[in-house]
Structure 1
Amino acid sequence: MQQWSLSKEIRKCARQVIESRERTARTGKSVDYGNDLLGLMMSSNKEQGGKGQSNIHMTTDEIISELITFYIAGQETTTILLTWTMILLGMHQDWQELARKEVLEVCGKTDFPNADTVNGLKIMGMIFNESLRLYPPIIALLRKTEKPMKLGRLSIPAGTQLQIPILEMHHDPSLWGDNVNEFNPERFREGISKAAEHPIAFMPFSLGPRVCIGQNFALIEAKVALTLILQQFFFVISPNYIHAPVHSFTLKPQFGAQVILHMNRDKYLAF
C-alpha cells in the first residue's frame, strides 16, 4: 500500500512539472522546455508530433515512465553498485590497494577524473565487473514472446513469459569455475567475453536490443565516485557489518553497509 502511494505521488509530481513547462512554453515565457533530460524529451516529443509521426509520439504517461526509469531506477542501480563495490574492497584490501595505485597513477592525487582518465582505469573496471557479477542490482529479467518461437530444443508458444535468472547465471560453477563465489576481478583481465565459459554469461545490464540504455553512464558515474574516494581515503568494513544480501526491487545489503573511511591513517570517518 505504501509503495503504491509513493508511486502515485511521484507520478503526480512529475505530471505537475510537465504541465508547468507546457504552460510556460505556450505563454511565450520560454522558447523551449529546458535543457535537462525532461526538457529534451518534451522538445523531441513535440517535434515528432508536429511531423505527424504518431507511432513514436509519446503520451504524458509514457514520458513520466521514462523519467522514473532514468532518475529513480538509474540512480538506485548505480548506488547499489558503489555500495557492494565498497563492501568488497573493504573486505579485500589487496584489490583496494591495486585500485588506489591505478587511480593515483592515472588521475593523480587531487585531479578530478575526466573522460580520458576514466577510460584508463582498467583495474577499476575489472573490480566493478566482478562486483556486478556477484551482486547484480537486478537479479532477473522478464521477457514475453510475441509469437511462437524455438529456443534450442524448446518450442515456446506466443504470450509466454520467460524469466532470465541473472543472479543464478552469475553464480553457475559450470560457467565461472569452482571459485564462482569468490571475489576475483582477475577473471575479467581479458575482457567480459572471455571471463566465463560462455561469452554472454555476464549480463548485469541485460543484452541485445533491450540492453540498459544507461549502462555506460552508470559505469562512468561509479568510476568517478570511487576515484574521488580512493584519492582521499582508504576504508575497511566495520565490525558491526552483517553480510545479508536481500532482494527488494534491487539486490542490496539488508542491514546497510557499515564502512569506516580513514584519512592519513590517523583520522577516520565512519558512516
Structure 2
Amino acid sequence: MVCLAVAYNILNTFISKMAADTITITLYGAIAFFGLVGCAIFWSFMSWKFSVLNKIPGPIKDMTFKNWLIGVFLQVESEDFMEPQKSWWKEAGEDTKLLHYSALFGKQFVMILDADGIKKVLTSPSHEDPLYPKGFEYLARVLGHGLVTLEGQSWHRHRRIIQPAFSINFVKTALDACVPDLVLKLIGCWKANVNNDIDLSSHMGATTLDIFGKIAFSHEFEAMKSVEQWSQDPDCAVELKNPLIEGLDAALTASLTRLLLFNLKMPFMERFFLPKLHHAGVLFDQASDNVVKNAQKQSQLNNGGYKSLLEFMCSDSSHGALSQKELRHEVKTFLIAGHETTATLCTWAIYCMTKYPSIQQRLYDEVMEAHGPKDKINVDTCDKMEYMECFLKEVLRLYPPVGLTLRSASKNTTILGDKIPANTKIVVPTYLLHRHPKYWTDPLDFKPERWSKTAEKDPKFHHFAYIPFSAGSRVCIGQRFSMYEAKLILALLIREFEFIISPSLEGKELRVSSFVTIRSDPPISIRANSRCG
C-alpha cells in the first residue's frame, strides 16, 4: 500500500508538472502567434498608409485604420455596378487617367481610364513570366485551372491545344446543325404564351446552355424542358436543374466569408466556414468528370459527324494532350464562359430592340430581305446582314457582358508615368471605357450606324477603347463563336416576333449589376408578339 501511495504521488506530481508545462507552452505559443499577427497587421497598415499609390487620385483621403480595414468594399458592394467608380472619376476630373482605391485589409486597386495604358497592360507578353497576370486565385477555386485562370507557359500550352477546335469551319457547321432546332423550340413556347411576360435572362440562359452543351460537350443539359414547362404554366419559374449547373451556381455564390478567406490567404478553411459551398464544389467536379467521360465515349463512337469542342480537346495534338484533371477544369471554364456571356449579349440585344422600335424594325427588314418567311437561316446568311453586325457591336459597347477585366502587377512597374508596386490589382473598366467621352462622340447614345463601313470614322476612336472580348494575346478564344451564335439566335427570333418591354417595367429605369456578367435589376422582362398574327 505504501509503495502504491508513493507511486501515486510521483505520477500525480509528474502529470501536474506536464500540465503546467503544457499550459505555459500554449500560453507562450498564443502570445507569439498573436504577436506575429499583430506585426503583420501593423506592417500591412503602414505599407498602405505610406504607399506611392496614394499620390494617384482616389476616394480615400484619410489614411486611418478604419479605411485600411474596410476601404471602399461596402460602397462598391451596395451600389450599382461601376457607380462608385464613376463618382470618383467625376470628382477627380474627366482627364484623369488612373484612379486608386483600396478594399478589405488595404488591398490596393488601380483603375486605368486611358486607352494607351490599357494597351500596355493587355498586350504585355502572357506566355512567359507575365508582368500583368490575371491573378484569379478566387476564381480558380471555383473553375479550376483552365484558360481563364492559367498563367504563363501553362496557359500558352492549353491555348495552343484548344485553339484548333475554334476553326471557322467547325464553328459554322456546329452552329448550323444545332441552333435552329433549339431556337424553334423556344419560338413555339413563346407563341403559346404571347400575352405573358418572359423572363428574358432565364430563357436565353436555357437556350444557350443547351446549344453550348451539344456543341461543346456532346452533352444534353435539357434546360429547354424548363421553358417548355413554363409554356404550359407561365407562373412556373424557369429553373435550370442539372448537377453541373447547380454546382456552378452554388460554387459561384459570393459571400463576405469567402472573400475574407481569400484576402487572408486561407482558402483551405473554406470547407469549415462554408461547408455547403465546399460540397457544391465537390459535386461540380464530379459532374464535370462525367461530362468528360461522356465526350470521350462519343469520340470513340463518332461516325463522321462533327466533333464537339471537348472531343477535340480529348485528342492528342502536336502540342500534347490535356489530362483528365485539365479537361475537367476546361469543362468548368467553358461552361460559364461559353453560355453565360452569349445569353447576356442576347438579353441586352432584345432589350435594346424594345427601347428603340425603329432599330428593331430595321433589323426585321434586313432579316426579311435576306430570307423569306420560311427560308432557312444559317450562319453564312446571317453573316451578310451588315446592320445586324453594327447593332450587336453597339450592344457590346454599351452593355459588354463582362464589365471589367482584372490583372495583377507581378513586380514593381510603371503605368502612364506612375509607379505601381508589386501585387497591386489593375482594373480595366470595360463598361466605363466604352462610355468614355474622350474616345466616343455621343458616348451614351445608342447608335449602331457608328459601326457602318460607310460611316465617317469617329476621330476620337481608339482600338483599345473598345474591348468587349478583351484584347492582346488573352483575347477571348470564343469571340467569333459567340457573335455567330448571337446573330443566328436573334435572326430567327426577329423574323417571328416583335418585342416590347413588359408592362411591369414601362417607365422604369433599369439598374446594372454584375455577377460574373452584367445583369439588370429588376431582371429584364418582355413580351413577344407574333408577327404572323
Q: Which residue of 2 aligns with 1:180?
A: 443
Shift of 1:163: 1.4
Counting only pairs closer than 5 Å after superposition, residues 89-238 of structure 1 correspond to structure 2 as: 89-146=353-410, 149-177=413-441, 179-190=442-453, 194=457, 196-238=460-502
| Amino acid in structure 2 at the alignment position of 1:41 | M
From 266, 287, 294, the counterpart of 1:13? 287
Residue 519 of structure 2 corresponds to 252
Secondary structure at the residue paired with 1:108? coil
Of residues 291, 297, 315, the one that matches 1:43 is: 315
TM-score normalised by structure 1 residue count? 0.81
CA distance in 1, matches of 2:294, 2:355: 49
1:69 to 309, 326, 333: 333
What is the CA RMSD across the aligned residues, in angstroms?
2.9
Judging changes above 3 Å, is the alpha-carbon distance between structure 1 residues 192 and 141 closer, same or farther for their aligned structure 2 residues? farther
**Cα deviations across residues 103-132 of structure 1 (Å, max 9, x unaligned)?**
111233222222331211111111111111
Q: Deviations over 1:126-169 (max 9, x none)?
A: 11111111111111111234455543323445554311110110
Q: Cα–Cα, structure 1 residues 19 and 98, in superposed 2: closer, same or farther, change >3 Å?
A: closer
Query: Which protein is richer in strand relative to its size?
Result: 1
Structure 2: distance between partners of 1:255 and 1:96: 23
**Are the equivalent residues in 2 in contact too, given 1:192–1:199 (CA < 8 A)?**
no
User: Counterpart of 2:399 in structure 1: which amino acid?
Assistant: Y
- The answer on whether the counterparts of 2:313 and 2:321 sit within 8 Å (CA) in structure 1 is no
Greater Cα shift, 235-244 or 218-227: 235-244
The residue identity in structure 2 corresponding to 1:256 is P
List gaps (5 residues or longer) in structure 2. Answer: 1-248, 252-276
Shift of 1:192: 11
CA contact (8 A) 2:399 2:431 kept: yes
Letter in 2 for 1:184: K
Letter in 1 for 2:289: R
Indicate if the aligned counterparts of 2:500 and 2:528 stay in contact, CA closer than 8 A.
Answer: yes
- Given the alignment, which residue of 252, 259, 263 partners 2:530? 263
Quick one: structure 1 residues 176 and 104, their matched pair in 2 at CA, closer, same or farther if it must change by over 3 Å?
Answer: same
SS at 2:353's partner residue? Answer: helix
Distance 1:21 1:231, change over 3 A: closer
Give the secondary-structure state (helix, strand or coil) at the position aligned to 1:163: strand
Give the gaps of 5 or more residues in structure 1.
267-271
Q: Give the helix-richer structure, 1 or 2.
A: 2
Specify which of 504, 507, 515 is matched with residue 240 of structure 1: 504
User: C-alpha displacement at 1:244, in angstroms?
Assistant: 2.4
Superposed displacement of residue 250, structure 1? 0.8
SS of equivalent to 1:200: helix
Look up the equivalent residue of 1:39 and give its one-letter code. Answer: E
The percentage of counterpart residues that share the same residue type is 30
Q: 1:30 to 1:133 in 2, by over 3 A?
A: closer
Q: Which of 68-77 and 96-105 deviates more? A: 68-77
- For the pair shown, the structure with the greater C-alpha radius of gyration is 2
Contact 1:193–1:200 (Cα < 8 Å) also in 2: no
* Alignment size in residue pairs: 252
